[in-house]
Amino acid sequence: MSYKEDIKKILLAGVQAPSGDNSQPWIFEIGDNRIDIFNLPKKDNPILNFKQRGSYLAHGALIENIVIGSSKYGYDPKITLFPKSGLPDHVASIDLTEIKQKNDYLYRAIFQRCTNRKKYQSAPLDKEQRNDLSSVVKGMKLEEYMTLKFVEESGSKLAVGRAVASIEQVILENKKLHALLFHDVVWTEKEEKRIKEGLYIGTMEFSLPQKAAFYLASHWSLMRLFKVLGLPKLIVNDDAKLYSTGAVLGAVVIDNETDVDFINAGRIMQRIWLKSTQYGLAFQPVTALVFAAQRVFASEADIFSPNHRKIIEINYNIMRQSFGVKNGTIATFFRIGHASPPSARSSRKMPTIGHDGI
C-alpha cells in the first residue's frame, strides 16, 4: 500500500470524530510525511462555541483518531499543536515516521462510535470497565493538567442531569440561540445523506408527538407562545431525567483554559468514548451548559438575559459541586451506560484537502 493511500485511510478515520451539531470544522493540507490540520471557525455555533473551544474539543477527537489510525497503518505520529504563533486556525501539524510494528487497538471502534441519546440503564460498570476508563488521563500522561471525574450515586446523577438540561430552556427562549439551533437541524434522512452534516433529527430519538412538537417549536412565533405555556421547562424536566440515566456521568476538568487544554480534553473524551464503544456501552456528550457558563464567567454574556445568566451560573455551579470540582474548568460532560442501539447515525463528509475554505 502506498503512502498516499495510507494517508487517505488515516484521514478517513480522523473525520469520524464527533463535533458540535456534526459541524466537522476542519480542513487538511498534506505534505511529505506531514498532515496539517486547520480549524474552520465559522462552522460551529458562534455563541456556544465560545472562543472556538467546542471546535477545539472536536479537533482533539480528530487528532486522537488520526493517532490511532496512524498506528494501524504503521506510522509513529509526532503532534505539534498550534505550530505557528499567531495562527490559531492552524491547529496541528502531525509528522509521520514509518515503523515496522502496527497496532490496530481501538481502530475498529472509530467507525462504530456514535452518539446515543436514548435512555440508559442504571446498571453499574464492571470493575474492569471502570478501571480502564478511569486510567485514560494517566495513560495519556496528562494528569498534571487535567482530571477525569465520575458521578455514580443516583441523587448526584439526578442533580447533574437537571443542571445540564437547564441550558435547553435558555436555548429555546433566546431568539438568537433558537435560530442557530434550528438552522442546523436536518429534517429528513434523504437530506442528511446528501449534505452529510448538521443535527439530524433521526438521532434525537424523538417519538412522533415529540418530533411534531419540535417542528412546531422551530417557528419562533409559536415558540414564544410555548414559552408562556411553560413548554421549555417541561422539556428541561424530561431531559433532566434522561441525562441522569446511565452507569456514570463523567466530566473532564482542566486546570487552565488554554486552547491546548481544550484539544487535549477532546483527545481524552474521544479515547474514553472509543473504549466505551469497545465494551458495548452507549455514550452521549452534552456540552452546551459548560460553554455557556464559560461565556458568562468571562463577562461576555450580553447575549443572555439576566434571568438566563442566573440559570447558567447556578446550574454550572451545581455541576461543579456534584463532581467535586474546587478548582479548574469543566471542559466537557458526558454520560455512559447500557442502552439499545441508536435509531440513526450522522454521516461524515470525506476529508477535505486544501486551504481554500479559510
pLDDT (tens digit per residue) in 3-33 = 889 999 999 999 999 999 999 999 999 998 9
| Torsion, Cα of 167, 205, 348, 265 (10° steps) | 40
Domains of the chain as residue ranges with CATH: 3-112 (3.40.109.10), 127-337 (3.40.109)
Contact assessment for residue 111 and residue 145, using Cβ atoms and an 8 Å cutoff: no
> CB within 8 A of 217, min separation 6: which ones?
172, 223, 226, 231
Our separate counts of H helices and E strands in the chain read 14, 10
Residue 338, phi then psi, degrees to nearest 5: -95, 130
Report the alpha-carbon distance of residue 219 to residue 122 in Å, rounded.
Answer: 36
pLDDT values of the chain reduced to their tens digit, one per residue, 358 residues: 588 899 999 999 999 999 999 999 999 999 989 999 999 999 999 999 999 999 999 999 999 999 999 999 999 999 999 999 889 999 999 999 999 888 899 999 999 999 999 999 989 999 999 999 999 999 999 999 999 999 999 999 999 999 999 999 999 999 999 999 999 999 999 999 999 999 999 999 999 999 999 999 999 999 999 999 999 999 999 999 999 999 999 999 999 999 999 999 999 999 999 999 999 999 999 999 999 999 999 999 999 999 999 999 999 999 999 999 999 999 999 999 999 999 999 999 999 887 543 3
Q: Across-strand partners of 282?
A: 337
